[in-house]
A = this chain, B = another copy of it.
Amino acid sequence: MHTILAVDIGGTQIRVASFRRGKVDPTKVIKIPTKGPEPVIDRISEAIRECWPQSDQVERIVIALPGPVDPYHGVIYNAPNIPEWRNFPIKAEIEKRFGVETRIGNDANLAALGEWKYGAGQGFQDLIYITVSTGIGGGIISNGRLVIGSRGLASEIGHVTVDPNGPLCGCGKRGHLEAIASGTGITNFVKEQLSLGVDSSLSASDDLNAKIIADAAIAGDRLASHAIERSGNALGNAIASFAHLFNPKIIIIGGGVSLIGDPLFGAIHRSLNRSIMDAIYIKDLTITRASLGDNAGLMGAVVLGHLPPDR
Q: Which residues of B are found within 8 Å of A143, using beta-carbon distances?
A: 145, 147-149
A288 contacts the other chain (Cβ, under 8 Å)? Answer: no
User: Given known contacts A148-B247, A274-B173, is B153 in contact with A281 (CB within 8 Å)?
Assistant: yes
Binds B, one of A55-63, A158-166, A196-204, A219-227: A158-166
Given contacts A142-B147, A153-B280, contact A161 B162 (CB under 8 A): yes
Work out how many copies of this chain go into the complex: 2
The reply to whether the CB of A98 lies closer than 8 angstroms to some CB of chain B is: no
> Would you give the 0/1 interface string for A126-150, flagging 1 where the beta carbon is closer than 8 Å to chain B?
1000000000000010110101111
Contact between B145 and A277 (Cβ–Cβ < 8 Å)? no
How long is the Cα–Cα vector from A173 to B244 in the complex, in angstroms?
A: 13
Structural contact, A153 and B77, CB atoms closer than 8 A: no
Shortest Cβ distance from residue A244 to the other chain B in the assembled complex, whole angstroms: 4
A278 within 8 A of B: yes
Query: Which B residues are CB-close (under 8 A) to A125?
Result: 150
Residues of B within 8 A of A152 (CB): 247
The distance in angstroms between the C-alpha atoms of A5 and B252, with both chains bound, is 42
> Is A40 positioned at the interface, with any CB of B under 8 Å from its CB?
no
